[in-house]
Amino acid sequence: MIGLDTNVLVRHLVGDDPAQTPNARALLAARCTVDDPGHVNRIVLCELVWVLGRGYRYDRLTIAGALEQLLNAAELQIEDREAALGALAAYRSSKADFADCLMGLLNRAAGCEHTMTFDRDAIALPEFAAV
């Protein structure tokens, strides 16, 4: 198994770099299979959403679609896939950042009553409470 960096997934999804895009896509095709999936950790998912939104100015709907594609890929092993899917659903239905959605769900799973925050968008989620 290999781990995948945010930049590899960005090149694969966006296809904007003539040198790196074919390399990223070839790597995924050759090294990420159902029997030997590529590993995508939670940090990479959060970075990916940030890069697509801030760097590429993709809208939430486009970002959510890209995340869904990755989360459902049998060739990828997603760290805490169920939490990531839950965070995707919360991201789609709220104004909160994906990272906050994921953090709240992971903290709840760890036994936290709430995640305390000043973030107005996150406070709207049931896993959060205002400081």
The secondary structure of 27-81, three-state, reads HHHHHCCCCCCEEECHHHHHHHHHHHHHHCCCCHHHHHHHHHHHHCCCCEEECCH
CA–CA distances in Å: residue 107 to residues 89, 102, 114? 17, 8, 8
- Give the dihedral of Cα atoms 52, 25, 85, 130; nearest 10 deg: -30
The rounded distance, in Å, linking the Cα atoms of 104 and 34 is 30
pLDDT computed for residue 106 by the predictor: 97
**Which residue, among 73, 96, 95, 72, has the nearest Cα to 85 in the 3D structure?**
72
The rounded distance, in Å, linking the Cα atoms of 99 and 131 is 19
pLDDT computed for residue 1 by the predictor: 96
pLDDT computed for residue 93 by the predictor: 97
pLDDT computed for residue 12 by the predictor: 97
pLDDT computed for residue 98 by the predictor: 98
pLDDT computed for residue 16 by the predictor: 95
Q: What is the mean pLDDT of the chain?
A: 97
pLDDT band at 80 (very low <50, low <70, confident <90, very high): very high
pLDDT band at 63 (very low <50, low <70, confident <90, very high): very high
